[in-house]
Structure 1
């Protein structure tokens, strides 16, 4: 894609938000800091502008080196800025405040947020603290630094498990986003709808041009949640998760110690098998074949054997920390996550189902695809039907 095409795509996604001036961002950050501190140093400058998939991220640095982050959603302009988009932003900001207040999970401190366009920058925003550190994706394969690469990786998994396990504090009776009475953390919490980014249909020429926040639910069971898109028990309760639990959102120091967890867009209560008990995304890549490039790219991908070893390590960490029934979900969370992805993503569905069928029958990809065709046409023989049924039950079973 040419730089011209990239600029057009950027303008199509963020529109007038790209014209937010440095001065307005500094004014906003300075005003918030004055309110928080009662005065003091407020001179600053914008030192970085980052374009994410769904947000513009602006970093303002003051003269004393304190940094603030101003995060502006891609839906915060024109007809995209719907009542649904506003509610999802409020839920995200207040849920972050709840996690920070009730746990020691190193999430950004939300200093201010606004769902109107009548403010210093003329757009909705969440203004939060800056998280120091390096992304895991920049360090997972980096052999430089004060410690050995493997030591850093294991330290990352250790400290991340310590942080994620603290989310066990929150239990909910439905699947959906958190809504706070009177918009204040500390008051009663109810469960509202789930939120997701809607970019249209992949492959359509208008894909991504009219980005929206879509709502659905809430749901009272995992079955109803999965049926909406296409392993549960009665009297379930639900837990929080990091919506995008992957290496670009986990911040660490040079030795692998966790310094922060960022990007909580559309955070909500979810089934336990895809909640805080899940494996980090970068150690489950072999269960999502369409995005897994081993052995073609050994420099940036772990082998299946390595990924299995890191999952065993992370699972061991969580078992030791939690020491309760919930821990039983960790070991197979990568399988549950793959099933959930297959249920919700028609692009990745085929390869995940082929992976699962191949695992059940212990056959290669071609034979797995043939078995899928037979099943789809009603031609699967009785023996294979029984093998598929019992194999899936074994693969997805969780000890009580």
Structure 2
């Protein structure tokens, strides 16, 4: 019966396309095969219908057991109610477990009295009625910032505010460059708020120096509604049995969570399409008068390495993508590498030659027929920085620190970070960290690209490959998780003709390998060519959810 239903809803062409995508997808751990079939050969020959039947049966069985037992589960195990008046602060464990940045001085920041935060809010806000209560009801820290949540109760209503203090906002560590970047963040948030309908925080007050009531640099904002998107990306009981085997379920959520995921991706696509419409003429950081008395200009940026040093690197504004990709990693320009070791020398030459092939592609050299424009790039668009309601509709996007303008191939239409992990270095791309997906990252990235195309976003042509583009640009910069060796290995593994030892191929290129170079140039061009998404991916996902819901209602009477 189920196979007949799937046959009715899914066209033959869709079956063929899905099989091809599945066969080409890299699977570090093929969970579906090891869990559901007696042998590798047998699972390889399993038809698409059988695979879908197995997935749907698993969904049905899990939901049937849940509804049969009628057990009450916690909707968000990472949320804690810190206050009265029904106010909940999302306290996401993934966010909390981030390591402290070496520049942060948490001893000093933690010592700021709660009363100082309360006085700041009290003196900043104008309340609609007599003040009944004002209190800091929660305090939490991430990698870079400490956040205080202040609740305000008046006769008419309850409001809450957020005061964010950088972990290095101390006299010993804070610099004029830090102040510059904080001012740019405030300006960018306000510019987005005034020129789009994107739900960003409303800023009530900020200070980039120490001459304020808090005696530390800060940003004070109205707290946005919603909770971390982690809460809807996983099932309610996700990780309860054994967190070490989360990977078994990250790729195959229940149909209810799958429905929320797709709704979430569509909601994010609507928002990022609006962001994508904000156009700029250079690469850098927006410099925007808060009163909008002049159009935005683009300024230089400052960057810090992952050490305790307060010394920053200044990067000027750039006029084109060509200017951005001219640099080469410092690790490949070290004189000591040019030693008497001929193999090391040839490996270096081969690496530089492959980088030249990659970054000579048209994606990094837009046609000069019209002036190149750039879009905003959120530096940390991950699940913990996207707020949602219970159904996955986005209620806010936070943490716009280090937001810059970027080439369109890695700009606002890029896949969010949790859908880029397959192109990140291995220490970030593993089954031990969220979102615990081994073989569906590319599928969800295709869905997101299709959702952008639904919104009429022309830059959706970059989305499916944006993780690869981003990995390449970061590899050139030697920062923000970039790794040139990892990137080149993934590129080579993506080309069927080059599945040999990557290191040996690089050495061969350095020695001189005309035939190899010719094949590489042809295949790299195809690999990096933008492509509009296949809209069937999203439509098929909608159909699968509809079929499962019909089956559940029919077999188990679940409304």
TM-score bracket for the superposition, by shorter chain length: 0.7 to 0.9
| Distance in 2 (alpha carbons) for counterparts of 1:42 and 1:213 | 46
For residues 254-293 of structure 1, the aligned pairs below 5 Å read: 254-293=390-429
Q: CA deviation at 1:137?
A: 3.1
SS in structure 1 at match of 2:326: helix
**CA apart distance, 1:188:** 2.6
User: Judging changes above 3 Å, is the alpha-carbon distance between structure 1 residues 92 and 355 closer, same or farther for their aligned structure 2 residues?
Assistant: same
Rate the CA distance shift 1:9–1:128 in 2: closer, same or farther, 3 A: closer
SS at match of 1:122: coil
Pick aligned residue for 1:126 from 214, 219, 227: 219
The equivalent of 1:333 in structure 2 is: 466
Q: Give unmatched runs, 5+ long, in structure 1.
A: 1-5, 200-206
Counterpart pick for 1:23 among 111, 115, 118 = 115
How far, CA to CA, are the matches of 1:320 and 1:219 in structure 2?
A: 32
**Worse-superposed segment, 355-364 or 138-147:** 138-147
Q: Is the 8 A contact 1:240 1:270 kept in 2?
A: yes
Deviation at 1:361, TM superposition (A): 3.9
Q: How many residues align?
A: 378
Give the Cα separation in 2 of the matches to 1:299 and 1:174. 34
In structure 2, the CA distance between the partners of 1:8 and 1:100, relative to structure 1 (3 Å rule), is closer
Change (3 A) 1:52 1:227: farther
TM-score (norm 2): 0.62
Q: Can you list the C-alpha shifts for 1:11-33, whole angstroms capped at 9, x where unaligned?
A: 95345323211000000011111
User: What residue ranges of structure 2 are gaps of 5+ in the alignment?
Assistant: 1-97, 239-253, 330-363, 533-559
Distance 2:173 2:434 in 1: 40
TM-score, normalised to structure 1, is: 0.86
Contact 1:30 1:43 in 2 (8 A): no
Q: 1:268 to 1:30 in 2, by over 3 A?
A: same
Which residue does 1:149 correspond to in 2?
Answer: 257
Aligned twin of 1:225 = 324
Q: CA deviation at 1:140?
A: 1.9
Residue 258 of structure 1 deviates from its aligned partner by 0.9
Would the alpha carbon gap of residues 138 and 348 (structure 1) be closer, same or farther in structure 2, given more than 3 Å must change? farther
After superposition, what is the alpha-carbon deviation per residue over 1:147-203, rounded to whole angstroms, capped at 9, x for unaligned?
Answer: 71111111110100011110133111111111124x43353321111233433xxxx
Q: Is the Cα–Cα contact under 8 Å of residues 103 and 173 in structure 2 kept in the other structure?
A: no
CA separation of 1:120/1:323 partners in 2, compared to 1, >3 Å: closer, same or farther? Answer: closer
Q: 1:255, 1:8 → 2: CA distance? A: 32
1:102 to 191, 195, 217: 195
The aligned residue for residue 386 of structure 2 is 250
CA separation in 1, counterparts of 2:167 and 2:292?
A: 26
Q: Which has the larger radius of gyration?
A: 2
**What per-residue deviation string (whole Å, max 9, x for no partner) do you get for residues 1-47 of structure 1?**
xxxxx99988953453232110000000111112xx47642732112
Q: CA deviation at 1:136?
A: 2.3
Is structure 2 residue 189 aligned with structure 1 residue 54? no
Q: Describe how 1:290-369 pairs up with structure 2 within 5 A.
A: 290-294=426-430, 296-297=431-432, 300-304=435-439, 306-324=440-458, 326-345=459-478, 348-364=483-499, 367-369=501-503
CA shift digits 1:242-293 (9 cap, x unpaired)? 1112122111122111111111001121111111010111112111141455
Distance (whole Å) between structure 1 residues aligned to residue 456 and residue 231 of structure 2: 29
CA separation in 2, counterparts of 1:38 and 1:252? 27
Change (3 A) 1:197 1:264: farther
Deviation at 1:370, TM superposition (A): 2.6
Tell me if structure 2 keeps the 8 A contact 1:226–1:340: yes
Matched with 2:507 is: 373
| 1-structure distance, mates of 2:432, 2:231 | 16
- Bigger shift: 10-19 or 314-323? 10-19
In 1: Cα distance, 2:424 partner to 2:195 partner? 34
Superposed CA deviations along residues 97-128 of structure 1, whole A, max 9, x for unmatched, are 11011111111111111122121110111101
Contact 1:44 1:61 in 2 (8 A): yes
TM-superposed CA distance for 1:130, in Å, is 1.2
Which residue matches 1:202? none
- 1:213-237: per-residue Cα shift (whole Å, max 9, x none)? 5431111111222334630323311
Residue 204 of structure 1 corresponds to: none
